[in-house]
Amino acid sequence: MTDIVQPQPWHVGNKEFQSRLFLGTGKFPSLASMKSTLESCGTELVTVALRRADLSGGEDSDPSADIMDFIDSSQFQLVPNTSGAMNAEEAVRIARLAAQVGMPKWVKLEIHPDPRYLLPDPIETLKATEILVKEDFTVLPYINADPVLAKRLEEAGAATVMPLGAPIGSNRGIETRAQIEIIIEQATVPVVVDAGIGAPSHAAEAMEMGADAVLVNTAIAIARNPVAMARAFAQAVEAGRIAYEAGLPAQSVTAEPTSPLTTFLDS
Amino acid sequence: MSFVEMFNRLPAEKSPLLGRFERMLESDVPLEILAADSQRLTRQHFGKTMRLFAPLYVSNECVNVCKYCGFSRNNPIFRVTLSLNEVEREARHLVTEGFRNILIVAGEHPKFVSNHYLRDCTARLRDLVPSISLEVGPMETEEYLPIVEAGAEGLVVYQETYHRATYAEMHASGPKRNFDWRLECPERAYTAGFRRIGIGALFGLWDWKSEALALAAHTEYLLKHCWKASLTLSFPRLKPAAGDFDPKYPISDPDFVRMLCAFRICFPQVGLVLSTREPQHLRDGLFPLGVTLISAGAHTEPGGYTGAGSERVQQSKGRKAGSHANGTGGSEAATEQFTISDHRSAQEIAAHLKSVGLDPVWKDWDAELCRHE
């Protein structure tokens, strides 16, 4: 029997990962707190908003610390995100700028014209994916939980699809469950559930459903103890994955009756 | 329906959300409960962060006569419009302080503060400052276009008072007298391509609950009609300024906090601004409760950070004796728009934010990211 208790490596693009917990880097109470959280939960992939990075090559004495000084790019797969982009053109520009300043040619596409709910624009996301894949970027698009869009992105060469469980920062859990189940069923690239995951139990739920990974930010960043919360998420992600691989029992809507209804068939 | 039409139907016709908002302004709703909700929602949507910005006053020339404003045309104050080199000198100082988000502020003057001057200011600062917004007299959409093209990200315009009769009384002459034109300014700015829109009311001119309800209605409208813009709300309270205006409708500290919490609860994702008009103890108390964008170490006069332009300052003629003007010009500092109350430096504010578990965010946008290729 295979030892399924040991987490199995998996891949995004041409890169192998052990951890299935991706972390975002916004909203932390300090950059030092963000750094210690990243380093203590076993995550191997972190996203960072290029809008917050210093693109000017500022001096070390600068009082406004640069977020990039707090992320060890040799330890983590750094994935710049395009947060703030309103359309494909802006997202493509941000990805190219990130590459120009020496970041990896990986990009988490976040194209949200609506700054209120930060819901992703499907049309612009597909356009940007098509352009960036041709330029050899590893593209991780953040999308609404739309199975057809997920397939279209896959065909366009996206390395993953990242459907939302609920709007960014809402902590409401996997509200799009039925649609994510279809995405997972149909996907040939990893499915990373992103956004809305507000508790370790939500992360475990996504992993039990068969998601390949989850991305968490707000719930960890605003916890009273972000390091401890990140560990709790890491454990939940691992537990959910093991449960998925072990084979969860099918759910039934009715209890098995203590007085069976079909015993007459036995006579 | 335009906002003017909707505004004209207030307060008789209002949405359920505005009804909830109005209810929260009543003193029998426990403030502690509002504060707890406000804090929770702020942390959920903005994290443990606080964005910082600095105002950069480029001109205190103004053609409007506004009874409460230090820059009012009739005040015999020391006036100057900074040259582009002087604007850059001021901005370089602010960048050294840590700021990456600057609000260019000017009086309304078609000759000294034209849209071309503001375009040139923006263009001059663009490579130095990642995020530039403006708080200047309202313009037509077409007049904004070159400023947006030059790299400006945000436009701030306060209605001052949403009460028509008070507005007419306060704005005695000048283009600012046109209430509706100002009311529709945020939509023109949005059409011109500004990504951030700031609105607000100047508290003290009229009954605070009525102002708050109108501001909430404006917010609700803009969130629907200018849905791609990030919206910020400001609640400046009238401060002493040249002209010695005495606000007739002051809002108390507890009511101010109540109002801010009500805005946060009803509009959880909207940025709430708090300037150095407010005193230290109140600012420190509000930082954890709902505010998301603050100024620090601010000067409200052109050249205030470095003395830029002081050799060209001239005292303007006016009918009123200016309590803040006491000379005839030449090597005098330009007169400030209002007196600030929180005198801590930017670094002192940042240190305080860190001590209460909030990350001071100096930079969260970069005009470079959307520069057209």
Distances from the Cα of B191 to the Cα of A117, B145, B346, angstroms: 21, 9, 34
Of B369 and B55, more confident: B55
Q: And the tokens for B175? A: 């283009």
Residue A87, chain B, CB below 8 Å: the answer is: no
Asked if B368 lies within 8 A of A55 by C-beta distance, the reply is yes
Task: Choose among B228, B270, B365: nearest Cβ to A86.
Answer: B228
Cβ neighbourhood burial of B306 (10 Å; 0-12, 13-18, 19+): middle
Rounded to a whole number, what is the distance in Å from the CA of A193 to chain B's nearest CA? 19
> Mean pLDDT across the stretch B213-226?
95
Q: Residue B172 in contact with residue B67, Cβ under 8 Å?
A: yes
Position A128 scores a pLDDT of: 97
Task: Choose among B49, B97, B227: nearest Cβ to A27.
Answer: B49
Asked if A222 lies within 8 A of B47 by C-beta distance, the reply is yes
Cα–Cα distance measured from residue A217 to residue A164, given in angstroms and rounded to the nearest whole number: 13
Nearest to B229 by CA among A101, A123, A84, A102: A84
> Mean pLDDT across the stretch A77-94?
92
> Mean pLDDT across the stretch A80-108?
91
CB < 8 Å from B in window 178-217 of A: none
Torsion of CA B208, B213, B218, B219, to 10 degrees: 100
Rounded to a whole number, what is the distance in Å from the CA of A116 to chain B's nearest CA? 6
Helix or strand or coil: residue A186? helix
Cα–Cα distance measured from residue A16 to residue A77, given in angstroms and rounded to the nearest whole number: 10
Asked if A63 lies within 8 A of B46 by C-beta distance, the reply is no
Residue B346, chain A, CB below 8 Å: the answer is: yes
- Whether residue B11 is preceded by a cis peptide bond, meaning omega within 30 degrees of 0, is yes
pLDDT band at A265 (very low <50, low <70, confident <90, very high): confident
What are the tens digits of pLDDT across the range B180-204? 999 999 999 999 999 999 999 999 9
pLDDT band at B219 (very low <50, low <70, confident <90, very high): very high
Rounded to a whole number, what is the distance in Å from the CA of A71 to chain B's nearest CA? 16
Q: What is the DSSP letter of A91?
A: H
Asked if B354 lies within 8 A of A85 by C-beta distance, the reply is no
What are the tens digits of pLDDT across the range A5-58? 677 889 999 899 999 999 999 888 888 898 999 998 899 999 988 887 777 655
Asked if A218 lies within 8 A of B370 by C-beta distance, the reply is no
> Mean pLDDT across the stretch B86-91?
96
Position A58 scores a pLDDT of: 54
Q: Residue B88: CB partners within 8 Å, gap ≥ 6?
A: B124, B125, B128
Chain B CB contacts of A222 under 8 Å are 43-44, 47-48
Residue B149, chain A, CB below 8 Å: the answer is: no
Distances from the Cα of A12 to the Cα of A121, B85, B278, angstroms: 23, 50, 51
pLDDT band at B223 (very low <50, low <70, confident <90, very high): very high
SS (H, E, C) chain B: CCHHHHHHCCCCCCCHHHHHHHHHCCCCCCHHHHHHHHHHHHHHHHCCEEEEEEEEEEECCCCCEECCCCCCCCCCCEECECCHHHHHHHHHHHHHHCCCEEEEEECCCCCCCCHHHHHHHHHHHCCCCCEEEEECCCCCHHHHHHHHHCCCCEEEEEEECCCHHHHHHHEEECHHHCHHHHHCHHHHHHHHCCCEEEEEECECCCCHHHHHHHHHHHHHHHHHHCCCCEEEEECCECCCCCCCCCCCCCCCHHHHHHHHHHHHHHCCCCEEEECCCCCHHHHHHHCCCCCCEEECCCCCCCCCCCCCCHHHCEECCCCCCCCCCCCCECCCCCCCCCCCCCCCCHHHHHHHHHHCCCEEECCCCCHHHHCCC
Rounded to a whole number, what is the distance in Å from the CA of A93 to chain B's nearest CA? 7
User: In a mutagenesis test of the B interface, which of A30, A62, A64, A100 is the best target, namely the one with the most B β-carbons within 10 Å?
Assistant: A64
pLDDT band at A62 (very low <50, low <70, confident <90, very high): low
Q: Residue A185: CB partners within 8 Å, gap ≥ 6?
A: none
Task: Choose among B358, B359, B369: nearest Cβ to A93.
Answer: B369
What are the tens digits of pLDDT across the range A224-263? 999 999 999 999 999 999 998 888 877 666 666 677 777 7
Q: What is the DSSP letter of A68?
A: G
User: In a mutagenesis test of the A interface, which of B96, B292, B366 is the best target, namely the one with the most A β-carbons within 10 Å?
Assistant: B366
Task: Choose among A52, A113, A169: nearest Cβ to B364.
Answer: A52
Chain A CB contacts of B229 under 8 Å are 115
Give the whole-number percent of chain A exceeding pLDDT 70.
91
Task: Choose among B45, B48, B227: nearest Cβ to A29.
Answer: B48
- Is A134 an annotated catalytic residue? no
Interface pTM (ipTM) of the complex?
A: 0.72
Of B129 and A264, more confident: B129
Most confident among B56-70, B74-88, B141-155 (mean pLDDT): B141-155
Asked if B48 lies within 8 A of A115 by C-beta distance, the reply is no
Strands B131-135 and B78-79: unpaired
Residue A64, chain B, CB below 8 Å: the answer is: yes
From A15, A27, A35, A108, active-site residue: A108
Asked if B44 lies within 8 A of A94 by C-beta distance, the reply is no
Q: Residue B371 in contact with residue B151, Cβ under 8 Å?
A: yes
Position B322 scores a pLDDT of: 41
Rounded to a whole number, what is the distance in Å from the CA of A209 to chain B's nearest CA? 26
Nearest to B52 by CA among B298, B339, B279, B306: B298
Asked if A84 lies within 8 A of B369 by C-beta distance, the reply is yes
Residue A116, chain B, CB below 8 Å: the answer is: yes
Distances from the Cα of B206 to the Cα of B76, B159, B196, B319, angstroms: 27, 12, 27, 26
> Mean pLDDT across the stretch A201-217?
95
Asked if A116 lies within 8 A of B364 by C-beta distance, the reply is no
pTM for this model (two decimals) = 0.84
If you write DSSP's letter for every residue of A123-138 in order, what string do you get?
HHHHHHHHHHHHTT-E
- Angle ∠(A231,A4,A183) on CA atoms, nearest 5: 75
Cα–Cα distance measured from residue B191 to residue B185, given in angstroms and rounded to the nearest whole number: 10
Position B22 scores a pLDDT of: 95
Asked if B363 lies within 8 A of A64 by C-beta distance, the reply is yes
Give strand ranges (E) for chain A. 10-12, 15-17, 21-24, 45-49, 77-81, 106-109, 138-143, 162-163, 192-194, 213-216
Q: Where are the alpha helices (DSSP H) in A65-188?
A: 88-100, 122-134, 147-156, 177-186
Rounded to a whole number, what is the distance in Å from the CA of A22 to chain B's nearest CA? 18
Q: Helices then strands (H, E): number in chain A?
A: 8, 10
pLDDT band at B240 (very low <50, low <70, confident <90, very high): low
